[in-house]
């Protein structure tokens, strides 16, 4: 089991506008993507990997000359890894609206000649899937062996099965949910308010002012981090450990290690993440709700799916708890779909989907063995 080694991002321009769920359209746009492995002669071994809030097309491998530049799912994808690039052709693509290369709010709006800012159209999970499908058209891939994603990426995998049921064999929906709960939306909304009310946000046009709403981004990221970790893992990792042996008795200085950790995560995030992207992606999360058009009946909504499924959840994930994954499984079983479900007793909360739990990794490996056998890869 070795790493992919060095990889290179590619980009593709699309001149035809993308019609969006909202009724708006995204004018010509560019998608940045990476591929690993080799597309076979039958063009049957492609696997699309969808990213979550704070991730990108850079799924695996690393960049030449950049230390610690491994992709966000490098432990999952590579030669001999669970998604084995010796057998599969893997595609990672940055979604429009994101801030890692594909057209986003920091890019020039052709209609105005200035950065989109808050005028970037609201994009949905469904829109992203449409954009991904167009990329596959261009790559000459009619049918995917599988679509795979965790968290918001899992929502994209699920949406694929509804929008393009005949274009895929399998969906791997990991640490995800059929929609956000009120509490999930609530956390997103607090994060958005922190960003939007930061005076440096300038109504989304901060680019023109040469500033970044870092205060808001920091708070947003700190909130996010709390929801990614389980209560228990936070307790085990930090507990009430103090930074110094003596208390400072201060409301502003750091006393506890957990404060130091959160501030560091917030600072780091505010250095690279785009504030408008944060708003757009949390909104895409809020809006995702395939059952809505069926009056909330998820089983009815998933009736069009034809893919076979692996659904995975983690016991300590309180952001998207196992109960939410079981809703998906139940709706699939109501439709007599082929579904495998693994509920992994992992301590790390939502973050577990990015980590190395052997049962989890083993379940994904075994599932891709099956996919490989089916397509003879």
Minimum CB distance to a copy of itself, residue 158 (Å): 17
Residue 190 binds a copy of itself, judged by CB under 8 A:
yes
210 binds a copy of itself (CB under 8 A): no
Strand, helix or coil at 199?
A: helix
Axis crossing angle, helix 125-139 with helix 152-163, rounded to the nearest 10: 70
Q: Is 350 a catalytic residue?
A: yes
Beta strands in 152-260 (DSSP E): 168-174
Would residue 202 be called left, alpha or beta, if left means φ above 0 and alpha means ψ between -120 and 50 degrees?
left
Inter-CA distances, 167 with 129, 136, 161, 283, 286, Å: 12, 10, 8, 27, 26
Does position 234 interact with a copy of itself (CB under 8 A)? The reply is yes
Residues in region 75-134 near a copy of itself by CB under 8 A? 118, 121-122
d(CA 302, CA 194): 36
Nearest approach in angstroms of CB 343 to a copy of itself is: 18
* CA-CA-CA-CA dihedral for 282, 221, 52, 7, to nearest 10: 140
Please say if 230 is a catalytic residue. Answer: no
Contact in structure between 321 and 329 (CB atoms under 8 Å): no
358-to-154, 329, 355 alpha-carbon distances in Å: 20, 22, 9
Size of the site for a copy of itself (CB under 8 A): 61
Is residue 235 at the binding interface for a copy of itself, with CB under 8 A as the rule?
Answer: yes
**Nearby residues of 169 by Cβ (< 8 Å), 6 or more positions away:** 143, 144, 145, 146, 307, 308, 371, 374, 375
Q: Is 217 a binder of a copy of itself (CB under 8 A)?
A: no
243 binds a copy of itself (CB under 8 A): no
Say whether residue 330 binds a copy of itself (CB under 8 A).
Answer: no
Q: Applying CB under 8 A, does 181 fall inside the site for a copy of itself?
A: yes
For the record, the structure tokens of 343 come out as: 């509920």
Question: Minimal distance in Å, beta carbon 16 to a copy of itself?
Answer: 21
**Given the residues 51, 170, 348, 350, the one annotated as active site:** 350
Q: How far is the CB of 29 from a copy of itself (least distance, A)?
A: 18
Do the beta carbons of residue 198 and residue 215 sit within 8 Å?
Answer: yes
Residue 279 binds to a copy of itself (criterion: CB under 8 A) = yes
Q: Is 151 a catalytic residue?
A: yes
The nearer residue to a copy of itself, 39 or 119, going by C-beta atoms, is: 119
Distance CA 37, CA 260 (A): 40
Query: Where in the sequence numbering do the catalytic residues fall?
Result: 151, 317, 350
Binding site for a copy of itself (CB under 8 A): 21-24, 118, 121-122, 179-183, 185-187, 189-190, 192-194, 196-199, 215, 218-219, 222-223, 225-226, 229, 231, 234-235, 237-240, 247, 249-252, 255-256, 258-259, 262-263, 266, 276, 279-280, 282-283, 286-287, 289, 292, 318
């Amino acid at each position: 089991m070795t790493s992919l080694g060095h990889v290179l991002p590619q980009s593709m321009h699309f001149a035809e506008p993308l019609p969006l769920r909202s009724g708006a359209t995204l004018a010509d746009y560019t998608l940045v993507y990476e591929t690993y492995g080799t597309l076979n002669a039958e063009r049957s071994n492609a696997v699309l990997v969808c990213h979550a809030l704070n991730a990108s097309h850079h799924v695996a491998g690393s960049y030449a000359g950049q230390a610690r530049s491994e992709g966000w799912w490098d432990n999952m994808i590579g030669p001999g890894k669970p998604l084995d690039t010796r057998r599969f052709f893997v595609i990672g693509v940055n979604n429009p609206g994101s801030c890692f290369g594909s057209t986003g709010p920091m890019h020039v709006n052709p209609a105005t000649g200035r950065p989109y800012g808050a005028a970037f159209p609201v994009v949905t999970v469904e829109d992203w899937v449409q954009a991904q499908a167009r990329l596959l058209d261009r790559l000459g891939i009619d049918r995917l062996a599988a679509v795979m994603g965790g968290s918001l990426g899992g929502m994209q995998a699920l949406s694929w099965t509804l929008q393009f049921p005949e274009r895929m064999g399998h969906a791997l929906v990991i640490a995800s949910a059929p929609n956000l709960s009120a509490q999930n939306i609530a956390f997103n909304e607090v994060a958005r308010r922190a960003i939007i009310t930061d005076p440096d946000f300038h109504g989304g046009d901060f680019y023109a002012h040469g500033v970044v709403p870092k205060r808001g981004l920091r708070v947003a990221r700190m909130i996010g981090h709390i929801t990614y970790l389980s209560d228990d893992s936070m307790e085990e990792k930090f507990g009430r450990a103090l930074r110094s042996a003596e208390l400072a008795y201060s409301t502003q200085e750091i006393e506890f290690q957990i404060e130091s950790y959160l501030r560091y995560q917030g600072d780091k995030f505010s250095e690279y993440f785009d504030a408008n992207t944060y708003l757009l992606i949390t909104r895409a999360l809020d809006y995702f709700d395939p059952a809505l058009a069926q009056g909330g009946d998820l089983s009815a909504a998933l009736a069009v799916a034809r893919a076979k499924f692996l659904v995975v959840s983690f016991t300590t994930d309180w952001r998207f708890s196992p109960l939410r994954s079981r809703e998906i499984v139940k709706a699939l079983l109501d439709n007599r779909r082929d579904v495998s479900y693994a509920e992994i007793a992992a301590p790390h909360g939502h973050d577990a989907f990015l980590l190395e739990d052997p049962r989890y990794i083993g379940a994904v490996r075994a599932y891709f063995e099956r996919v490989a056998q089916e397509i003879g890869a």
